[in-house]
Amino acid sequence: MVIPRTRGAISGLLIVLLGAFGALVPFIGPSFNFTIGPDASWHMTSGRFWLSLLPGVVAVVGGLIVLFSAHRAAAVFGAQMALAAGIWFVVGPTLSVVWSNGAPPLGQAGRALGGQYRQMAELLAYFYGVGAAITAFAALAFGRMTVRGVRDAELAAAAAAADGRTTRRGRTGRFDRGPVRRRDRVAEPAAVGGPAGPATAPARDEGVVRGPVDRAEERTAAAPATGRRGGFLSRFRRR
């Protein structure tokens, strides 16, 4: 169903920005002494790929779908993608302990560096804060996409009316056949000064299918009128 593009504009834009930040902060942060894991900028590790880059890209793609899609099903799918990415930002580092040798709580991501407050800021910026924000905006977008409002009904009615006009415009009616109507026979006027007799033959209508009865009536009407009425048997009846 068609929805206005402004329905998920703000949520989609914020999801895109947060996803891009979550995907790039592990590669840019070490340049500003803001590090979790290896203290090297633009250095790819399995932890940075699975826990930061991949969910960040998924969040960006989902946010773009929410931002630009005018179809309800596509926008809902984009919101679900962003919602999954945000949840993975939050729980991914803890779950990575299962398949890696990293120690809790961050597992494969590594250890936060710096003092107490800096480590708190790093945890929020790398995983928990950005993941919670993406989850919140994705859930907001998902809720707005699943609700059908009055404006959605108006847009759907306008789209249906436009489709109907396009269909009617596409049919020219050149080969349409209207109902066949049987036209009434019109009797020809009698000739001036002609002998009185039965009604003259009706006008022949080429558009009407004639049967045997019609042909007999035409032959009778077309027969020349004489002064005598009746035939050979009528003479014996008179006698």
What global pTM score does this model have?
0.64
pLDDT digits (tens, 9 = 90+) for 41-53: 999 999 999 999 9
Give the pLDDT confidence of 192-224 residue by residue, as tens digits: 555 555 545 555 555 555 556 556 666 666 655
Task: Encode pLDDT of 151-200 as tens digits.
Answer: 666 766 776 777 766 655 555 555 555 555 555 555 555 555 555 555 45
User: Which residues have CB under 8 Å from 4's CB, separation 6+?
Assistant: 70, 151, 152, 155
Radius of gyration of the chain from its Cα atoms, rounded to whole angstroms:
44
What is the pLDDT, as a whole number, of residue 181? 57
Q: Is the pLDDT assigned to residue 108 strictly greater than 70?
A: yes
User: How far apart, in whole angstroms, are the C-alpha atoms of residue 175 and residue 170?
Assistant: 13
For 202, list phi and psi in degrees, rounded to 5.
-70, 160
Tens of pLDDT, residues 61-70: 999 999 998 8
**Which residues 6+ apart lie within 8 Å of 172 measured at CB?**
none
Is the alpha carbon torsion for 206, 207, 211, 217 positive or negative?
negative
For residue 213, the model assigns a pLDDT of: 54
pLDDT class of 95 with cuts at 50, 70, 90 = very high
Which amino acid, residue 133?
A
Q: What percent of the chain lies above the pLDDT cut of 90?
A: 46
